[in-house]
Amino acid sequence: MIVVPLSDEEMIRQYLPSQPAQCFETLYNRYVNKVYRRCLSMTRDPLKAEDFTHDIFLKVFHKLDAFQERSSFSTWLYSIAYNYCSDQIRLARRLQVTGIDESVKYDIAEVKEGHLHEETLHLVSKAMETLSVGEQTLLRLKYEDGMSIADIAGISQLKESTVKMRLKRSRDKIYRLYGKMYTA
């Protein structure tokens, strides 16, 4: 005797009220690979496709009694799968989630940069203290106040070439002192 398997719709009508777990298991076994392939074609990520497949079947299990046979079960299932994957992909694009590992590495680099910047400022400040008041004044007028060489020459009553030479010598002293302190 040849046993003809029941169609999806007949099985749902016949077994869902009395044996819902067995009914769902049969449907799951029939369609799990097809739903997985649908999810994989949309996500291009095997792990996401597997997760989405499980989520879709959980959703179908909870909605199985709402199936009204307006279309075939497979069409109903595929529309749920397509909509679920589309929603998840759209949500992922909107949220732009960053992995924990990436953010931790980024934060560590940021902390190191901040610490290095503070240390550099401290060493430059220490080197500045070793300069004469005149040298410090010229450097501050140029780099903190953003004044031009001509303006500094006018304020300090020096020639522009003299201001340029003193700024260069002061910068060179800072670099040398900074280098000594940094390597120490």
One domain for residues 15 and 40 = yes
Residue-averaged pLDDT of the chain: 82
pTM: 0.51
Q: Of 95, 122, 155, which residue sits at a domain end?
A: 95
At which of 50, 77, 95 does a domain end?
A: 95
Number of domains in the chain: 2
Shared domain for 89 and 108, answered yes or no, is no
Last residue of a domain, one of 32, 62, 95: 95
Q: Which domain holds residue 175?
A: 100-183
Evaluate whether residue 120 is within a structural domain. Answer: yes
**Chain segment 14-71, per-residue pLDDT in tens:** 888 888 888 889 999 999 999 999 999 988 899 999 999 999 999 998 888 888 888 8
- Say if residue 90 is in the same domain as residue 157: no
Condensed to tens digits (0 to 9), the pLDDT of residues 94-103 reads 776 555 555 5
pLDDT level of residue 110 (50, 70, 90 thresholds): low
Confidence of residue 111 (pLDDT cuts 50, 70, 90): low
DSSP collapsed to 3 states, the chain: CCCCCCCHHHHHHHHCCCCHHHHHHHHHHHHHHHHHHHHHHHHCCHHHHHHHHHHHHHHHHHHHHHCCCCCCHHHHHHHHHHHHHHHHHHHHHHHCCCCHHHHHHHHHHHHHHHHHHHHHHHHHHHHHHCCCHHHHHHHHHHHHCCCCHHHHHHHHCCCHHHHHHHHHHHHHHHHHHHHHHHHC
pLDDT digits (tens, 9 = 90+) for 130-148: 878 788 888 878 887 788 8
Do 69 and 107 lie in a common domain?
no
Same domain, 77 and 117: no
Tell whether 122 and 75 lie within a shared domain. no
CATH of the domain at 32: 1.10.1740.10
In this structure, the answer to whether residues 169 and 121 fall within a common structural domain is yes
Look at residue 3 and tell me if it is in a domain. no
Residue 144 lies in a domain: yes
